[in-house]
Every structure is written in C-alpha cells, then in structure tokens.
A and B are shown apart, each in its own frame.
Chain A
Amino acid sequence: MAKKNLYRALLLLSFLAVNAGIIYGLAAAWSFLNTGADKSAILHIGGTIEQAYQPKITWTIAGQRGRKISKQALGELEKDYLNAWYVKNIALNSYDQLGIADYYTEDARKRVNNLVQNNQDNHVRIATTTLSHHPQLEFYSLDGKLAVLTDHNVVQYEKVYDHENLVHQQRTSNSYQVILMLEDGFWRIRQMVKIPNQPENKNQAKQLSFDTKKWKGINYYPKDNPWNMFGDTFDESNTQKDFKIVKTMGLNSVRVFVPYEVFGGASVKEDMLAQLEKLLDIAQEHNLKVLVTLFDFYGNYNLMDWTLTHRHAETIVSRLKSHEALLGWDIKNEPDLDFDSRGKNNVLGWLSEMAEQIKQNDSIHPVTIGWSTPEAAVHLANEVDFVSFHYYGAPEHFKERVLALKDSVEDKPLVLEEYGTSSYSGIWNGFSNSEDVQASYYQKMQTVLTKEQLPYFIWTLYDFETVPSSVVGRKPWRKAPQKHFGLIDSEGKEKPAYNIIDVKRKGTTN
C-alpha cells in the first residue's frame, strides 16, 4: 500500500515536473524570439556621437574668402569636423576604423588607415583626445560644398601605449590646415596638413589674492539629505537656518559638493546651477564664503570623457566666478582613493588638465584638490594654489604629518579641508567612543590648529540619520560611525564638541 502511494506521488511529481519543463521551454523560446534589435533601430537615428565628444571650439569667421557662410552651415561643418576628430581618435585608440568612412574622403581615408595600420603592426596604441580648437574659416566655396579652415593651436592630449604599456603622455598644441568637402550630406576631411603654430599671446597669469590664514570653515550637508542636497530635496529655509548656525559659531566658510551626474554631466542642468547659485547667495547674506568642490561621485578619468568634464566645469565655473561668496574651487574630493581602481596616471593627468581648464575660465579664484591624507597632498602641489588635505587620524600624530607635508610643498599654503571624529558608540566599535571623546578630539586638534595657524574645515555640522551606500559602502560597521560626525546630533541638540568650536561661547562652558 505504502509502495503504491509512493508510486502515485512519484508519478504526480514527475507529471508536474514535465509540465513545468514544457512551460519553461515555451517561455524561453518566446522570450528568445522577442529579443534582438529594437525596431526603431531600422530608422538609423544616431546622434549620441556629439554628446561623447565636446572639445571647446572657438571660430574665427572674419576674413573668409568665397561665399559668406551662414550660421546654420557653420554649425553643420563644426559638427562633422569634430566628429572627424572623434572617429580618428577612436581609430588610433582601438584600430576600429568604422567611422572613418563617414568623415574622411576616399583618399584621406586611405592615409588615415595607413597610419593606424602602421601602429597596429607595431603594437602601438595611441589614446588621444583634443581639448580645444580655434578654427579660422579661410574659404567657403560659392556652391557651399568645399571649405578650408586653419585650426590654430589645437590642444591635444595623448597617451602612448607600447604593447599595452603606457610609455608616454603628452599635451601638445598643434595647428592644422584642413580641406573639407560636403559629400552625401557629410562634411568630410579631404586634406589635413600640420603647420607651424602661430605665436600664442598667452594671458599673463593674474596674481591671485587670497589669504587662507583666516579661513575657519565647516563641510556642509543638510541634516536630512546629506550627499543629496540639490534637486528636489534642496531646501532654502534649511540652508538659511544652518548657515546662521555656522555664522554664530564664529566660522566664516563652508565647503559644499557638486555631484557630477546629478548636475547633468556635460550639459549642466539650469535648475541645479540656480540652486547652487542660491546657496552662494544665502552664504553671502550670512557673510560666509563657499569652497565649491566639483566632480563629486565622478570616477571615470578616461581620456574619452575629458571634454565632457571640461564642459561641466566650464559651465559651473564661468557662472559662479564673479560671485562674492565664492572662496575657491576644489577640483575633486579625495581623488587619491581612485588611484588603485583607475590608475594613478589617469587620475593625475585628468586633475592636472582640469586645474588648467578651471584657471582658463576663472583667473581670480584659487584652485585646490581635496586629498584624503597629508601624504597624498604632495601630488600636483605645483599646480594648485593652496594644498588641501583631510585628516582623520589621531590628533597626536597630526602635527608631525602636517610638518612633513609643509616641507615638501614649500611655500604653498596648507588647508585642512576635512577633519573630525565620530561620536558613535555601539557594537561596531565596542562602545569605545562617546560625545565627550569627540569633544576632547576637537580640543586637541583646535590647539594644534591655532598654534600652527592652519585654516580648517570641520567634518561636519550635523549627525545624519541616513548615509547613502555610495558614500562609504553598505557595510554597517562603516556606515554607523559615518552618521555621528556632527557637532549637532540628529535631534538638533548641540553635542559637547559644538562648544569647543563655538568661539564666542568658548570659556563659558569649559
């Protein structure tokens, strides 16, 4: 009997299994038949190419021969000319000559292919991009089908790989004379010859006047939406309130962060920019200065991405450069943490070029990079106006590490751009901290800072109830302490450390 039941059960189960198998098979076949090219692909609507490559381009039209070019025609010429550079950059980097046929005439195509082939045979790869173009239209034919331009001082950046080893990077400036022809609706390069550069009348670098000595600041994020203060969550009244607190504490500056993607990448969103401007306005009302940290959460550094980040910086910097409340530009927060994952050379190359780009757009405000440790801050020290570093170590070792940095960067002013300690006390750190420990940390640090006359930015004003995983990762033992770095706890109560910082109340509570 039992055996019979067993058979029944087995039979039933195998029946179910077979059915499940059939249904799964049908579903798999169905979903396979529904995959493949999107129907809209038939239309061949491209258009992502111009978003991937946006070097700065400045035209000179005056003095052109032939027919006067219209704005529309010039726009089309520019688009295709830049695309020609872009597809050639790709060909030199990956030997992929797919786009060459679209943007080079038959004869020119052969010659580009020759060059690329030569590199491929020698196992040489050139990663390259152009950063700025200054084309002068020399000639535009009467029927609008042929144009000659001289592209002066094209700033090019190249990384040369020999058997996949990076052997050289160079930033060069070259001039080219180019013939373009309109064929099949594409402006194609027919001829491209390198010519000597015209002497560039370099703007004399203005002497910056800034005095880091007086800076006493704090890294600012609002209490309820840290790392996410712009966009829908932007709250003017909170900022008003918080900046008032910062001012009453006797501080005079704040450091804020501009997230790259949230702000729209290469085409910066106007509403975001308006919010940032508003934040500076509020700071101005409270007589605070703002150190703007760009490129937060950015981590590509790829040569192909450079021009996009340059347009991002250009938009923000040129918009805010004349704002009274602007203290300076911090290119990126703790870029040294990307050295391992992105390659030190890639990161340093990008930073160094970005410093140059920001200075081109704003010759008044100082530029810095927010290195994560005093030791990392020696990088590119010559290219920044003041050296910024963060310190989360023990106060006892602070002085010697700063002095070591001071020795290696010579006369560049130093700024402690982030420091602080968490008052978190819980299972993840064995209940070892407390708000009093935090207060005594600040006590020690402030003593050194005052003695060394080192400008500082505290991390941070508030304890946070939530910390996004993108900041410190998902691990609870890293997240938990990150929530308790504030001088004010998440209920709005001042912690003991607050009174250490509050210069006006100092002494009365101690």
Chain B
Amino acid sequence: MRWKQYIWLIVFVALGCSKSPDAPSEKIPDNIKLNSTEREFTAGDPIVLKFKGKAVKQLLLIQNGWGTIALQPDSTITDLTFTLPQAITQKSGLAHWSLLHQKTKVAKGSINILPSNTLSESMESYIGPTSIFADNQDQAMIVSLPQDTYGNPLPDSTIIELTEKFKNVQNNTSMPVKDMIANAYVGGYGEVGELFLGTSLENQVSKEFTLSVLPTKADDFAINFDRQHNNADGNQVISFTTSTIRDRNDNIVADGTMVNFVVEDRSGNQYQTYGQTLNGVAVGKMLHPEAPTQWKVKAHISGLSKSNSLELGFEAAVKDYTVHISENGRTITVGPILSYMKQWIPDGMGIYLEIKSPDGESLLTQETTSRKGMGKFELPENINAYENTVKITVAGIEKRIEGTIE
C-alpha cells in the first residue's frame, strides 16, 4: 500500500511544479460600460467614474497632459467605481482613460476638465525687455499667464485687462488669451520716462512692472572752454564743457554717457581727455601747455555724434631767463625763470638740457623741473660745458651757449 502514497506524492509535486495557466479563467464581462454620463468636469471637482459591472481586478489607465497613471477600483465589494486622484482632477485639459481587465482593454473614453472658476490670486506676468528707447518706435512686450487656483491656464478669448501709466496718463486696454497666454506690445514713446504696467483679471492681479523709457542716440552738440588765463604755464587746468546733450527727440542723454575730447596742437600732436555726462553735460579737463601754441578742440560720443571745433591759443608764460655755468664747467644753473607777472614761475616747469659736441654729436640730454624759479644740472665727469655746446629749453624759449674749442 505504501507505493500508492508515493505515487500520490509524485503527482502532487508534479502538479505543483507545472506552470499555472497564463490567465485565470474568469470570464471577461463584455458589456462594461461607463455608467456616469458626465464627460465634462471642472478642475478641483471630485470625479468618480462609475462602470456597469462588478469590481474584480480591473485597472483604469488615465492619461492627461503630464502623463499616465493607473488606478485600482475603489473597492472590490461594491460596484465598479474609480475615484480619480487630485493629480488628475485638478489638471485641466483632455484626459483619456481606458479600462483594463486581465490585460485586455474592455472600455475606453475621454473626459474633458475645464479650468476652475476660482482664479489664482496673482497673475503671472513677464515683461521684456525691461527698457526701451524713446524713439517713437521701440517696444517691449508684456505676457500674462492667467491661471485658475490649481495652476491651469484659462481658455482662449478670456479678456485680460492691461493698465499702462506714463507721465500721468493712464490707459486701460484689453488683451485676449490665445494659446494659454495673453500678450501686448507696449512702448513707442518719444519721451523719456518710466512706464508703469500691470495686468488683471477680476481679482487676479499682477505685480506692478516698470519699464524704463531711455533716451536714444545723442544728437550733435556744442562745446565751450573755461580757463583762468591764456598763458602756457603748464600749471593751470583748462576745462571743456559740452552743451546739454540731447537725443533727436530732445531727451537729455542718459547720465554717464562718455564724451571724448580731442585736442590737437599746432605741431599736430593729439591729446585726449574724457568726461561723463551728468544731466546731459560732460566736462573734460586738461593741463595748460608749457609752451605757447594753438589748440584745436573737438568732442565726440564714440560712433554717435560730434561737437563743433574750438580754437584757442596760449601765450608764452615765461619772458626770459638766464643760464649760468659754473667755473669748472660741470654745473649749469638755469634761472631765475620769471613768469608773465615777473614772479617766479610755479614749481614744476620743465627745463630741458642738451649737450652737443663741437661736431654736432649729441652727448647728453637731461631734464628737470623748476623749483622756486630755478633749475640746476650737474654734468658727469667727462663732460665739460665749456668744451661743448649747451642748449637749454624752458617754456619753448631756447638758449644756446657755444663752448670754446681748444
């Protein structure tokens, strides 16, 4: 009798090892239909899809704008219902669903969820660019993304109110929503100022935006000069002042606009100085020359506009001076150098020395500056002032002392 038990054992083991069939033999109900008739919902409202039939182990797939989720029936004892989660009910737009039963699609359909009537508190808006030129044509754009309280975009043709205020003039216009956004061009002013902007829909409001209307390219301007005296003393500062620089629409150019002053002297050397505008006026400064000369001054804003050309002359500040050579021929004293009022010239006047050999070869050049109207040169050992030609230049006045040839 014992072998019978073994046989049973083997049979059971064999059955246990065999593959279970792919699908449990539950009959698919072929008349599963959506019982709920509603196809259109409002975001935030609870949505329950009721099907005719018993809940077994169905799975409901729902695909909305963000992606797909799958749900089990609410309960297996009652009717076949699915309560959709907030991820679905709060999202506007189409949502397709399909009901799966044992890996087979038994029903499908779609629902449409409209944005909620409760609006979000703030109106998401963007403005760009944040500054424009006052040239009567430059524009910026404001874009608003009106939303309901769940962050859903509002339908096309919803009217958004746009409020603009410029120089005490307030304008209200409307911009309709199209493709989830409402947008409008703003600007086109010829006057400099600040444009204040805001959008609203009922009590959904944006923050206040400010758009700077900036002056455009500067127009040509005039310059003038101001100096204490006209002597080329290399000490005083001359200043060049522009007229109030304006753009073509008469707006004062933006503060900080760089103005470049170019000075050309009689011998064609050029000097530059810069000034930045404040209230449209830029000032450039320059030291007086050390020698009498004639200046031609012109200012420009790089690549945009230029000024008139200004001519001014400088007279010699120094009338005359003496040069003394020490006995040993090694020390040269220049001065006293007297200025236009017969006083010592201000300290710092350049004194230039050049020593040339009798056959015209330059042996030494030195320079120093005046102090108390005087200047002094010490010559190196191998050079004797008496054996060579000494040339001194102060304020454009040149003196030559010919050495004696032994």
Contacts and interface: CB of A to CB of B under 8 A. Distances in A.
Interface of A: 65-66, 88, 92, 107, 111-112, 114-116, 118-119, 122, 124, 126, 128, 138-139, 141-146, 148, 150, 158, 160, 162, 166-168, 170, 172, 174, 176-177, 179, 190-196
Contacts of A167: 59, 70, 100, 103
Nearest to B153: A191
A195 B113 CA distance: 11
B183 A139 contact: yes
Contacts of B59: 160, 162, 167-168
B313 interface: no
B179 A112 contact: no
B22 to A, nearest CB: 11
Contacts of B128: 141-145
A3 to B, nearest CB: 62
Contacts of B86: 114
Contacts of A150: 179
Contacts of B139: 142
Given A115-B67, A168-B61, A195-B93, A122 B72 contact: yes
B105 interface: yes
Interface string B62-87: 01111111111000000000000111
B181 A139 contact: yes
Contacts of B61: 160, 168, 170
A107 B180 contact: no
Interface stretch (B140-148, B219-227, B262-270, B338-346): B140-148
Contacts, number: 127
B65 A158 contact: no
B95 interface: yes
Given A126-B69, A141-B126, 15 more contacts: A66-B141, A66-B183, A92-B68, A115-B69, A119-B69, A124-B69, A128-B68, A168-B98, A168-B100, A172-B63, A174-B96, A192-B65, A194-B94, A194-B96, A195-B94
A93 B404 CA distance: 106
B126 A118 contact: no
Chain B interface residue bracket vs A: 35 or more
Query: What is the predominant secondary structure among interface residues of chain B facing chain A?
Result: strand
19 contacts: A107-B151, A115-B67, A118-B69, A118-B87, A126-B70, A142-B128, A142-B129, A142-B185, A166-B103, A167-B100, A170-B105, A172-B63, A174-B94, A174-B96, A179-B153, A192-B66, A193-B153, A193-B180, A195-B93
Nearest to B186: A142
A167 B373 CA distance: 106
Interface of B: 59, 61, 63-72, 85-87, 91-96, 98, 100, 103, 105, 126, 128-129, 139-141, 143, 145, 151-153, 178-181, 183, 185
Contacts of A128: 67-68
A193 B129 contact: no
A128 B69 CA distance: 12
Contacts of B85: 118
Given A115-B69, A177-B180, A145 B145 contact: no
A286 B98 CA distance: 55
Q: A88, A92, A160: which has the most chain B beta carbons within 10 Å?
A: A160
A65 B93 CA distance: 23
B70 A111 contact: no
A143 B153 CA distance: 22
Contacts of A170: 61, 98, 105
Contacts of B93: 193-195
Given A118-B87, A141-B126, A145-B128, A177 B179 contact: yes
Contacts of B126: 141, 145-146
A92 B145 CA distance: 27
Contact of A148 (B64, B91, B94, B180): B180
Contacts of A122: 69-72
B65 A176 contact: yes
B74 to A, nearest CB: 13
A118 to B, nearest CB: 5
Q: B61, B68, B71: which has the most chain A beta carbons within 10 Å?
A: B68
Contacts of A179: 145, 153, 180-181
A364 B69 CA distance: 40
Contact of B94 (A112, A143, A162, A196): A196
B329 to A, nearest CB: 72
Nearest to A192: B65
Given A119-B70, A141-B128, A160-B70, A194 B65 contact: yes
Given A115-B66, A115-B67, A128-B68, A146 B94 contact: no
Contacts of B65: 176, 192-194
Contacts of B69: 115, 118-119, 122, 124, 126
Nearest to B139: A142
A107 B139 CA distance: 30
Given A146-B143, A170-B98, A195-B94, A162 B151 contact: no
Nearest to B127: A143
A52 to B, nearest CB: 19
Contacts of A142: 128-129, 139-141, 185
Contacts of A162: 59, 70
Given A111-B87, A179-B153, A92 B67 contact: yes
